[in-house]
Structure 1
Amino acid sequence: MVKFDTLSIVVPVYNEARTVHQILDLLRELQLPNGIGKEIILVDDCSTDDSAAAINAYAARHPSLGLRLLTHPVNRGKGAALRTGLRAATGDYVIVQDADLEYDPEEYNLLIKPVLKGFADVVFGSRFMGGNPHRILFFWHSIGNYWLTVFSNMTTDLNLTDMETCYKLFRRDIIQGLDLKENRFGFEPEVTAKVARVPGVRIYEVGISYYGRTYAEGKKIGWRDGFRALYCIVKYGLLKL
């Protein structure tokens, strides 16, 4: 059994004032196994709503949670926000959590399990395997995710089912040792390609739930990001830049 003390949770935030308190409630109530502590780092990517004020108000109401809020003076994109949060992490392991309500933090325990058993250094949470709930939404998004994962696998020689998932758990020294560059949603294929090249890395995948949002509910990723992801697969996976 592997022991670790703290899980760093990095939350990129952009215009999530309406829902950020809900994800913070879930993180506050979350109980991790074996007494593992939580370090919660939020990165506000120059939101144009009251996201930062909502986070500060929540932190004032719950000082024992020890929330850390980092801010960008200009909007730089999700990947840039993640780099800021990942650099600031001090826990033994790090996980990415979107500020929306598409993923359930209770399922961190599913990702942690192969780590605690001594099998994994990196764990992906797949929306497309296992028997967990999965909201039925966009056909072409699912096709796009499938083919992006296939193309990514062809360049990395991994057999992932969901490269584009938000839930990725990393040993901190591994993720902080990567030279990440993508500022937007290209983060997913870039980090997958680069972590796959870490000597001796052990990557696992577990099934998770997915409570997807519509665009009316605040979903931000679009078809242009799909083309950027394909470009990143070629750049970082095939060309190994």
Structure 2
Amino acid sequence: MAGPNTIKMLSIDDKTVTTDLDRAGYRKMGVYVKAAANFEEANRLLKSEKIDLIVINLDYPPIDGTQITKHLKSKPETKEIPIVLTSVQTAARLRNAALESGADLFVEQPLPRQYFIEKLKQLLEQKTRTTERVSLHGDVRFTVDGTQHHCAIGDLSSSGMLLSTDLELTSGKPIHVEFDLPDQKKPIVIDGEVVRTLRYSPQHPDRQCGIGVRFDNFQGDSKKRLENYIDKSAHSDERLKYYL
């Protein structure tokens, strides 16, 4: 079972290539692999599980990796999931076709697992930091392990927020948050998880401190109302740094 702080990767490739030993090696490095041999299997997994990124082998004959990429990037429910295309071929033509299909990264194989995983983690971090964040003056109510707390909101995006608190929370810790938006009667209610703790550093004296939270499950129409607020506020807010 994948842990709360594990990257869940969907691999579209020949299932016989990914052995139990390979899976164990990935798990040790924080990546839980879900395998699919074709688009139908991949689509079922995408509908039933929360996938962090998708890796497609362009050298696997039964599938057309670039067409699958184009399809996934055209769908609202999957367009934000990073897609990595891999191949043992090094031709510039193949690389260009991969990126033109909408892939976020093209990786030449073979590549040692640890370096490949590092590229995946860098891609996830890069994608996360491109999310627009805005400031919101107000408090957030949050619950961890059955205990309620409250603190000021550091900043906010449609996918996460910074809690201005000195509370020590470990990465992967489930958290329930509620906060109010201006001119809205209902609170925004979300379940998420802690992804990072930011403390004062002399190297980054202007960086905000607190707890970074990633949003996972929105209750009711909270997601739509939050996205509308972010869209209206982002253009007038100069602080678009993403801290998660």
TM-score by length of 1: 0.23
Q: Which has the higher strand share?
A: 2
TM-score by length of 2: 0.23
If asked which structure has higher relative contact order (CA below 8 Å, sep 6+), I would say 1
